[in-house]
Amino acid sequence: MAPKLPIYFDNAATTRCDPRVVEAMLPYFSEKFGNAASRNHRFGWEGEEAVEVAREQAAALIGANPKEIIFTSGSTESNNLAIKGAALMYAKAPAGQQGRGHIIAAVHEHKAVLDPCKRLQREGFDVTFLEPGADGIITADMVAAAMRPDTILVTIMWANNEIGTINEVPQIGALCHEREVVFHTDATQWVGKMPTDVERDHVDLLSWSGHKIYGPKGVGALYVRRRKPRIRLEAIMDGGGHERGMRSGTMNVTGIVGFGKACELCAQEMEHERERLLKLRRKLEGELTRRIEVAQVNGHAEKRLPNIANVSFGFVEGESLMMGVKDIACSSGSACTSASLEPSYVLKSLGVGDEMAHSSLRLSLGRWSTEEEVDWAIEAIVKAVEHLRTMSPLYDLHKEGIDISKIQWQAH
Q: Is 263 a catalytic residue?
A: no
Q: Which is nearer to ligand PLP, 161 or 298 (CB)?
A: 161
Q: Figure out which of the listed residues 84, 108, 110, 281 binds ligand PLP, where binding follows CB under 6 A.
A: 110
- Cα 46 from Cα 48, distance rounded (Å): 5
Residue 202, judged by CB atoms within 10 A of its CB (0-12, 13-18, 19+), counts as buried
Q: Which is nearer to ligand PLP, 74 or 101 (CB)?
A: 74
The answer to whether 75 contacts ligand PLP (rule: CB under 6 A) is yes
Least distance (Å) between residue 339 CB and ligand PLP: 23
Q: How many residues bind ligand PLP (CB under 6 A)?
A: 13
281-289: Cβ within 8 A, 24+ apart: 281/306, 281/307, 281/308, 281/309, 281/365, 283/371, 283/374, 283/378, 284/309, 284/363, 284/365, 284/374, 284/377, 284/378, 285/309, 285/311, 287/378, 287/382, 288/378, 288/381, 288/382
- Cα 42 from Cα 25, distance rounded (Å): 18
Q: Figure out which of the listed residues 59, 157, 328, 388 binds ligand PLP, where binding follows CB under 6 A.
A: 157
The answer to whether 74 contacts ligand PLP (rule: CB under 6 A) is yes
Q: Which is nearer to ligand PLP, 186 or 285 (CB)?
A: 186
The answer to whether 136 contacts ligand PLP (rule: CB under 6 A) is no
Cβ-based neighbours of 383, under 8 Å, separated by 6 or more = 324
Least distance (Å) between residue 213 CB and ligand PLP: 10
The answer to whether 276 contacts ligand PLP (rule: CB under 6 A) is no
Least distance (Å) between residue 167 CB and ligand PLP: 11
Least distance (Å) between residue 392 CB and ligand PLP: 33
- Cα 173 from Cα 171, distance rounded (Å): 5
Distances (CA, A) of 25 to 100, 116, 209, 231: 44, 32, 16, 32
Return the residue nearest ligand PLP (CB atom): 74
Q: Which is nearer to ligand PLP, 161 or 196 (CB)?
A: 161
Length of the chain (residues): 412
Cis bond leading into 27, ω under 30°?
no
Least distance (Å) between residue 351 CB and ligand PLP: 21
- Cα 356 from Cα 295, distance rounded (Å): 9
- Reduced to 3 states (helix: H, G, I; strand: E, B; else coil), residue 225 is coil
* 8 Å CB contact between 309 and 281: yes
Residues 176-235 that bind ligand PLP (CB under 6 A): 186, 188-189, 209, 212, 220
Per the residue annotation, which of 117, 263, 330, 336 is the catalytic one?
A: 336
Q: Which is nearer to ligand PLP, 48 or 162 (CB)?
A: 162
Going 264 to 51 to 239 to 87, the CA torsion angle's sign is negative
The answer to whether 72 contacts ligand PLP (rule: CB under 6 A) is no
The answer to whether 254 contacts ligand PLP (rule: CB under 6 A) is no
Instruction: Mark the segment that binds ligand PLP (CB under 6 A) among 70-78, 85-93, 308-316, 326-334.
Output: 70-78
Least distance (Å) between residue 362 CB and ligand PLP: 11
- Reduced to 3 states (helix: H, G, I; strand: E, B; else coil), residue 108 is coil
**Positions that interact with ligand PLP (CB under 6 A):** 74-76, 110, 112, 157, 161, 186, 188-189, 209, 212, 220
Q: Name the residues annotated as catalytic.
A: 336
